[in-house]
Amino acid sequence: MARPKIALIGAGQIGGTLAHLAALKELGDVVLFDIAEGTPEGKALDIAESGPSEGFDAHLKGTQDYADIAGADVCIVTAGVPRKPGMSRDDLLGINLKVMKAVGEGIKTNAPDAFVICITNPLDAMVWALQKFSGLPAEKVCGMAGVLDSARFRHFLSLEFGVSMKDVTAFVLGGHGDTMVPCARYSTVAGIPLPDLVKMGWTTQEKLDAIIQRTRDGGAEIVGLLKTGSAFYAPATSAIEMAEAYLKDQKRVLPSAAYCSGELGVKDMYVGVPTVIGAGGIERIVNIKLNKDEQEMFDKSVEAVKGLVEACKGIDESLA
Instruction: Report 227-286 residues binding ligand APR (CB under 6 A).
Output: 229-230, 232, 235
Q: How many residues bind ligand APR (CB under 6 A)?
A: 26
DSSP three-state, residue 189: strand
Q: Which residues of 243-257 are buried (b: 16+ CB within 10 A; e: fewer)?
A: bbbbbeebebebbbb
The piece of 31-39, 158-166, 241-249, 303-311 that touches ligand APR (CB under 6 A) is: 31-39
Which of 126/260 has CB closer to ligand APR?
A: 126
Confirm or deny that 119 is annotated as ligand binding: yes
Cα(236)–Cα(63) distance, integer angstroms: 20
The piece of 77-85, 132-140, 267-275, 301-309 that touches ligand APR (CB under 6 A) is: 77-85
Confirm or deny that 291 is annotated as ligand binding: no
CB of 35 to ligand APR, least distance (A): 4
Which of 12/62 has CB closer to ligand APR?
A: 12
Our answer to whether residue 176 is catalytic in this structure is yes
Instruction: Report 90-109 residues binding ligand APR (CB under 6 A).
Output: 99, 102-103
Q: Examine residue 15 and tell whether it contacts ligand APR (CB under 6 A).
A: yes
CB of 174 to ligand APR, least distance (A): 17
Cα(171)–Cα(273) distance, integer angstroms: 9
The piece of 32-40, 50-58, 166-174, 274-282 that touches ligand APR (CB under 6 A) is: 32-40
* Closest C-alpha to 245, from 133, 146, 104: 146
Residue type, 223: V
Evaluate whether 140 touches 115 at the Cβ level (below 8 Å).
yes
Instruction: Report 136-195 residues binding ligand APR (CB under 6 A).
Output: none
Q: How far is CA 320 from CA 120, 133, 170, 316, in A?
A: 21, 12, 36, 7
- Angle among Cα 46, 50, 56 to the nearest 5 degrees reads 125
What is the DSSP code (8-state) at residue 166? G
CB of 184 to ligand APR, least distance (A): 26
Cα(176)–Cα(136) distance, integer angstroms: 22
* Closest C-alpha to 83, from 271, 231, 272: 231
DSSP three-state, residue 174: strand
Binding site for ligand APR (CB under 6 A): 9-15, 34-36, 39, 78-80, 82-83, 99, 102-103, 119-121, 229-230, 232, 235
Known binding-site positions: 10-15, 34, 83, 89, 96, 119-121, 152
List the catalytic residues: 176
Known binding-site positions for substrate: 83, 89, 121, 152
